[in-house]
Structure 1
């Protein structure tokens, strides 16, 4: 039985279309307004700090504005963190640290977005009771976060996870209930908070440490391409009628088991996602094609329970869910 659901065919991500790469603009959907019927906190909610000090474009007033809006609607405090994570007091008062798509330093001094001192500081903080949400997209983000993930026992695919569908590929993956793990993040607190279907929007695959729970299970026929150029080559060859087994054997590798993980780390908690866009609301515009409709992806699309999934994972990380 397949563990991953049917492929979302509501258009492949425009990132797969090389002809559009120079003529698109990806931005946060600032018009999206989350609806939370009963906020988890009515006052003085836990503080979420979103790291903006390591090259990420997922800022709380930009591409991660949707995430920030959702968490504020649920009663959390949300702020940006812009300094080093090993600085004295850097994580004081923080309930959940969020790192989404940190980037390698521009000076080329290393590929990791975080140096060893910062990685150890985060590991100590989590082990003493902190909570970390690490969302890491497709290449090159897995390389930038690889050392941090490894410190928590997580292996990253570092490429582009995809499935073949007829004579094409999709990186928009759908996880129905049978592909979702047995975990409080999936179950919620009752009262309709259970998650039945999750959609992701182009990411990588993951493997967790012993004792981790797979939240989003990849199927046996999911693959990972090392980079976008290879994914485009796979797509072109499948569209030309070549055999999928031959093409994937030559150009791809089997995906790692998961695209979402949850696990304890010392006295703390960690969630790692292989895709960051599912937690926010974004738009791709086409400046040189004014008549073309913008492409929406993330929480501003329908047909999935991604908003409830985002709320549940934050409830677990902030200890609202035991």
Structure 2
């Protein structure tokens, strides 16, 4: 029941007042450059326009990913008190990323339980972490089982990950959260893959909603959009 509109022009309030939800997914300042430094994909004026629009009642769905995606939206996130790391959040054991209520990495809240379609687990494929303001509710948590790597070049991240790459403990960082801002709403997520449907690589490996362990990812996305649409 939703109508999607692609926007290639710079963000303006006149453009935003015609829509209910603004979605940004894995925005990059320069898709050809995966090295530091990383620059904001949004201008200061666009960020202020988005901030005011949300404050006045708009809804923002901000999806980012591992470096350099995180760095490309750091300034936008900061305008809402969200501090996004320009890094790679990866489990230390290299195993598939299942966030679940049983493991206490997926939390009960208005999005995972409040819509009538309860979500018990979701699957992710890397991404980044962020810190949210106290007014936010966390959807999914990183923990001490994760490291957030801070490379100079995204191509440095390959298993085994070199010891000389700086890293942070994942403890205390979120990879999914939501908050109300003024009259508006925001959902931020640190990985774009859960909301995709991929056949990855030469062997067409199933990822995103196609993966058999990601059975609830599609409903999770619907729950997010329905919350933003209230």
User: Residues 236 and 82 of structure 1: is their aligned pair in 2 closer, same or farther, counting only changes over 3 Å?
Assistant: closer
Q: How many residues align?
A: 221
2:211 is the alignment partner of 1:296: no
Aligned to 2:120: 196
Q: Structure 2 unaligned segments of length 5 or more: list them.
A: none
Aligned pairs (5 A) from 1:251-266? 251-255=166-170, 256-266=172-182
2:115 is the alignment partner of 1:205: no
2:133 is the alignment partner of 1:133: no
CA distance, structure 1, for counterparts of residue 4 and residue 137 of structure 2: 27
CA drift of 1:90 comes to: 1.1
The correspondence for 1:90, drawn from 15, 36, 50, is 15
Aligned pairs (5 A) from 1:244-283? 247=163, 251-255=166-170, 256-283=172-199
CA drift of 1:217 comes to: 1.0
2:39 is the alignment partner of 1:111: yes
CA distance, structure 2, for counterparts of residue 252 and residue 285 of structure 1: 28
CA distance, structure 1, for counterparts of residue 186 and residue 90 of structure 2: 25
CA drift of 1:251 comes to: 4.0
SS at the partner of 2:188? strand
CA distance, structure 2, for counterparts of residue 120 and residue 236 of structure 1: 38
2:143 is the alignment partner of 1:184: no
TM-score (norm 2): 0.88
SS at the partner of 1:174? strand
TM-score (norm 1): 0.64
- Higher CA-based Rg: 1
Aligned to 1:3: none
The correspondence for 2:25, drawn from 86, 90, 100, is 100
CA drift of 1:164 comes to: 1.6
CA drift of 1:107 comes to: 11
1:98 and 1:134 in contact (8 A); partners too: yes
CA drift of 1:308 comes to: 1.2
Aligned pairs (5 A) from 1:130-169? 130-165=58-93, 169=94
CA drift of 1:296 comes to: 2.0
CA distance, structure 1, for counterparts of residue 161 and residue 54 of structure 2: 44
User: Residues 104 and 236 of structure 1: is their aligned pair in 2 closer, same or farther, counting only changes over 3 Å?
Assistant: closer
1:84 and 1:90 in contact (8 A); partners too: no
Aligned pairs (5 A) from 1:11-22? none
CA drift of 1:117 comes to: 0.2
CA distance, structure 2, for counterparts of residue 161 and residue 298 of structure 1: 17
Deviations 1:274-302 (CA, angstroms, capped at 9, x unpaired): 0011112122233xxxxxx2122111112
